[in-house]
Amino acid sequence: MESDVSANSRLTIAAHTLTWIGLYQRRGHEVATSEQIATSVNTNPVVIRRLLGELRKAGLADSRRGAGAGWMLARDLAAITLLDVYQAIEPGPIFALHRATPDPECVVGHGIGPAMTAVYDDVEAALCRELAKTTLEDVLRDVLKAA
């Protein structure tokens, strides 16, 4: 069973990335390069660029090209919640219905889809509510406290 490697670490990486940029900017730098971030995250710069591309599309980050290029925040850390980040990078729902449509002749097969959808909607809503409670400012505060 081991640790579930398939679980999404994308939210972790995204939060790490944005928090890193935020701290870097507060220390007086204009932009951060994907290489610098990748060093802190311990991964490949392309992975960071791909993620930041999605975050930019969602209006959370921005980039400059050419020499002296790099990435910056589009909003302050305090104005970005983990929900914003989550919605920027996680397209699909947590739970899915059947792949193949179940037997419509069967009472259960016919009615189970809507029944589970109602539950899943509530679960997703609760998850979003929880993620919205924490801003990247909160995350940075926790990070600095631990140091």
Partner DNA sequence: AGGGTTGTAACAGCTACAGTTACGACTAAG
Partner DNA sequence: CTTAGTCGTAACTGTAGCTGTTACAACCCT
Footprint of a second copy on 92-111 (CB under 8 A): 92-103, 106-111
Q: Report the residue from 27, 28, 66, 144 that binds DNA according to the rule CB under 7 A.
A: 66
Does residue 63 bind DNA (CB under 7 A)? yes
Does residue 39 bind DNA (CB under 7 A)? no
Residue type, 113: G
Angstrom distance (rounded) from CA 13 to CA 51:
8
Is the separation of the CB atoms in 30 and 21 below 8 Å? no
Reference 137, options 79, 82, 77; nearest CA is: 77
Does residue 108 bind DNA (CB under 7 A)? no
Q: HSE (CB half, 13 Å, CA atoms) of 92?
A: 5
Q: List contacts with a second copy (CB under 8 A).
A: 1, 3-9, 11-13, 15-16, 19-20, 23, 39-43, 82, 91-103, 106-112, 114-116, 118-119, 122-123, 126-127, 129-131, 133-134, 139-140, 142-147
